[in-house]
C-alpha cells in the first residue's frame, strides 16, 4: 500500500561536550526528542528566559565563517555539521539545549553527532513529513559560483569545487538520499583549512579551537595530519556536508536535485531566499513512499 514519509525524532535524550572551533570554549549540548511539527530548535540554557531559536533560514544572522542563527540577541554559531546530521538521518523534530554560543566542532565532521543520534533509537512519528517539492528549475549565480535546483522524484545534491591546489583541484560528488549512505560516505568528512589562513584567524581571534584533531590542514602539497585523508576526495565530501546543513534551514526536506559549484554558506543562504521567492517553482506537501506489496 502507499504510505507517506513520516516525521522522525529521537527515541531518548543524548548529550555531549566539546570545544568551539572559533571560540575555543567548551560547550555541552543536549538533544531532546520533540513532538510532531516542532522542527529543530535551539535553546540557550546559559541565557535563561531567552526565546528558543528556530533552525530556519529567516533566523540566520551570519554566514561569514560558519552558519549562525539567532533571535533577540541570543545566537547559536557553527550549526552546520549538527544540522547536516539531522538532515542526513531524516530527523525532523528535536530540541537542542546548549550552554554556550558555539556548537562543538568535535572531530571536524558530523560523525560523532550522527553516531549518538543513531544510538538514540530514531523513532517514526505519526504525522507525514512536509516537503518542498521542486516543480521548475531555479538558479542563483554569483560570478563563477552557483546553486541550481531541478525537479527530481527524490532528494539529491551534487557539489563541485575547484581549488588551485595540487591536492584538491576539481572534485565533484553526488549524494542520493534514497541510497541512505550519509553515515558512511558523508558524515565522516572533516572541515579543512590552509596553513596560510591561520594568520587571518589569529588576527581576528578566530579558530581558537582549531587543531589537527578537528580539521584537515593543508600546506601547499602536503597534508599535515599524520593519518592523512579519510577519503581521497574528503574536501568535496565536507563541502557537501556543509550544504546539507545549510539547505536544511528551509525547515523541510527538499524533493529535488540541488547542484552547487564553488558554493559556501553565504551563497547557500542567498539561494534559499531566491528559491522561496520563486513561488511558482515549488509547492509544499507530503510525499508518497514507493509502493510496497
Dihedral sign (CA 15, 83, 79, 185): positive
Whole-number Cα distances in Å, 66 to 7, 61, 102, 103: 28, 10, 10, 11
Q: Are 254 and 131 in contact (CB under 8 A)?
A: yes
Q: What is the pLDDT of residue 265?
A: 95
- Residue 1's pLDDT is what? 39
Distance CA 260, CA 177 (A): 16
pLDDT of residue 293: 37
Q: Give pLDDT, residue 290.
A: 59
Q: pLDDT tens digits, residue range 204-244?
A: 667 788 889 999 999 989 999 999 999 999 999 999 999 99
The CATH number of 6-285, from 2.60.120.20, 3.40.630.10, 3.20.20.70, 3.30.1700.10, is 3.30.1700.10
| Geometric angle at alpha carbon 81, from 149 and 118, rounded to 5° | 105
Which H or E element spans position 54? strand 53-54
Mean pLDDT of all residues belonging to the chain: 94
Centre a 10 Å sphere on the Cβ of residue 88 and count the other Cβ atoms it contains: 25
Q: Which residues are catalytic?
A: 265
Question: Of the given ranges (94-103, 144-153, 209-218, 227-236), which has the lowest mean pLDDT?
Answer: 209-218
Alpha carbons 53 and 77: distance in angstroms, whole number = 11
Max CA-CA distance within the chain?
A: 62
Which has the minimum average pLDDT: 51-60, 199-208, 240-249?
Answer: 199-208
For residue 214, the SS3 value is: coil
Q: Mind listing the pLDDT tens digit for each residue in 166-211?
A: 999 999 999 999 998 999 999 999 999 998 877 777 666 677 888 8
Per residue in 191-209, is it b (16+ CB within 10 Å) or e — as a string?
Answer: bbbeeeeeeebeeeebbeb
Amino acid at each position: 500500500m502507499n504510505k507517506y514519509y513520516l516525521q522522525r525524532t529521537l527515541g531518548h535524550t543524548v548529550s555531549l561536550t566539546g570545544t568551539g572551533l572559533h571560540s575555543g570554549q567548551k560547550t555541552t549540548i543536549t538533544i531532546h526528542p520533540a513532538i510532531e511539527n516542532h522542527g529543530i530548535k535551539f535553546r540557550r540554557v546559559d541565557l535563561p528566559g531567552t526565546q528558543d531559536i528556530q533552525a530556519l533560514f529567516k533566523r540566520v544572522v551570519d554566514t561569514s565563517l560558519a552558519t549562525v542563527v539567532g533571535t533577540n540577541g541570543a545566537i547559536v554559531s557553527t550549526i552546520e555539521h549538527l544540522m547536516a546530521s539531522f538532515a542526513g538521518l531524516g530527523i525532523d523534530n528535536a530540541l537542542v539545549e546548549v550552554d554556550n554560543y558555539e556548537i562543538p566542532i568535535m572531530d571536524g565532521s558530523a560523525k560523532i553527532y550522527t553516531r549518538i543520534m543513531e544510538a538514540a533509537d530514531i523513532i517514526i512519528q505519526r504525522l507525514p513529513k512536509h516537503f518542498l517539492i521542486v516543480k521548475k528549475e531555479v538558479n542563483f549565480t554569483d560570478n563563477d559560483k552557483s546553486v541550481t535546483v531541478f525537479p527530481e522524484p527524490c532528494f539529491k545534491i551534487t557539489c563541485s569545487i575547484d581549488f588551485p591546489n595540487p591536492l584538491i583541484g576539481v572534485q565533484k560528488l553526488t549524494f542520493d538520499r534514497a541510497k541512505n549512505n550519509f553515515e558512511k560516505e558523508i558524515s565522516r568528512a572533516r572541515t579543512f583549512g590552509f596553513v596560510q589562513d591561520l594568520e587571518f584567524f589569529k588576527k581576528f581571534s578566530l579558530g581558537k579551537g582549531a587543531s589537527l584533531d578537528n580539521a584537515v590542514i593543508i600546506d601547499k602539497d602536503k597534508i599535515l595530519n599524520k593519518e592523512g585523508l579519510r577519503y581521497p576526495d574528503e574536501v568535496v565530501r565536507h563541502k557537501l556536508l556543509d550544504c546539507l546543513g545549510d539547505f536544511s534551514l528551509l525547515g523541510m526536506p527538499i524533493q529535488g536535485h540541488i547542484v552547487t559549484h564553488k558554493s559556501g554558506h553565504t551563497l547557500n543562504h542567498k539561494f534559499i531566499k531566491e528559491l522561496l521567492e520563486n513561488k511558482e517553482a515549488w509547492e509544499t506537501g507530503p510525499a508518497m513512499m514507493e509502493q510496497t506489496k
